[in-house]
């Protein structure tokens, strides 16, 4: 069930018009705003792509349940759903920040007193379902993982990428980046 670059782009074109959880933007707007924030911050290609694709699990869920929204009374584990589909196509430097973007929220809520209160209501609700703030030991363990710093930066772009009608590049702007990173990975030229 691997998704190649073209499958990924097609998935966004087909399903990204749907609303992003309880936020006032679509999945496409959220993905493009997140990638744009990462790009403007001077992030690596891998982190920009991770920002673009971090919620692809929601699109895969929408594809599987074509009627739309997943139930919001349990954790959908969307940060992990896409990994088996992407592992053959993209390097760990893209996959890890995607997998860790929910734990990055749990980390930030635990370690920055000002972080939790500025989360959107929908994000505060999902935090509870996702296990709530990390303990001190969990926060330390998280920060010691490879790609933790990238995941925390991605999380901050994620939180800001919810602005109705914000102007961003379109999906085509990032398609070349996706194809390039995938091609380099396929040829074995990518380091984890």
Binding residues for Fe ion, per CB under 5 A? Answer: 55, 158
- Which lies closer to Fe ion via its Cβ, residue 6 or residue 75? 75
Residue bearing tokens 């053959």 = 88
- The structure tokens 């860790």 sit at 100
Residue 181 CB, nearest approach to Fe ion (Å):
20
Give least dist CB 102 to Fe ion, A. 6
Cβ atoms of 95 and 83 within 8 Å: the answer is yes
Please say which residue, 76 or 190, places its beta carbon nearer to Fe ion: 76
Q: Which positions ≥6 away from 172 have C-beta within 8 Å?
A: none
Nearer to Fe ion, 129 or 186 (CB): 129
Nearer to Fe ion, 102 or 190 (CB): 102
Burial class of residue 64, CB neighbours in 10 A (0-12, 13-18, 19+):
exposed
Smallest separation, CB 56 to Fe ion (Å): 9
Helix (H, G, I), strand (E, B) or coil at 189: coil
Identity of the residue, 45 or 55, whose beta carbon is nearer to Fe ion in the bound complex: 55
The Cα–Cα gap between 46 and 153 comes to 13
Handedness of CA 181, 14, 103, 117 (dihedral sign): positive
Here the tokens at position 160 are 């800001």
Q: Where are the beta strands (DSSP E) in 14-97?
A: none
Shortest Cβ 145–Fe ion spacing (Å): 18
What's the closest the beta carbon of residue 183 comes to Fe ion, in angstroms? 26
Q: Which is nearer to Fe ion, 72 or 180 (CB)?
A: 72
Total count of residues recorded for the chain: 192
CB of 187 to Fe ion, least distance (A): 30
DSSP label at residue 19: B
User: What's the start-to-end Cα distance of the chain, in Å?
Assistant: 22
């Amino acid at each position: 069930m691997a998704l190649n670059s073209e499958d990924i782009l097609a998935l966004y074109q087909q399903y990204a018009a749907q609303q992003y959880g309880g936020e006032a933007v679509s999945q496409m707007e959220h993905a493009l705003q997140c990638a744009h924030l990462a790009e403007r911050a001077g992030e690596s290609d891998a982190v920009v792509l991770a920002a673009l694709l971090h919620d692809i699990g929601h699109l895969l869920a929408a594809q599987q349940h074509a009627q739309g929204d997943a139930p919001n009374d349990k954790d959908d584990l969307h940060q992990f759903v896409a990994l088996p589909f992407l592992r053959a196509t993209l390097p760990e430097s893209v996959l890890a920040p995607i997998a860790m973007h929910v734990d990055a929220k749990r980390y930030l809520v635990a370690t920055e007193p000002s972080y939790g209160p500025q989360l959107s209501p929908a994000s505060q609700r999902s935090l509870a379902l996702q296990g709530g703030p990390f303990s001190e030991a969990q926060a330390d363990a998280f920060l010691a993982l490879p790609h933790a710093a990238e995941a925390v930066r991605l999380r901050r772009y994620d939180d800001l990428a919810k602005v109705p009608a914000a102007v961003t590049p379109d999906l085509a702007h990032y398609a070349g980046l996706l194809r390039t990173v995938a091609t380099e990975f396929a040829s074995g030229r990518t380091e984890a």
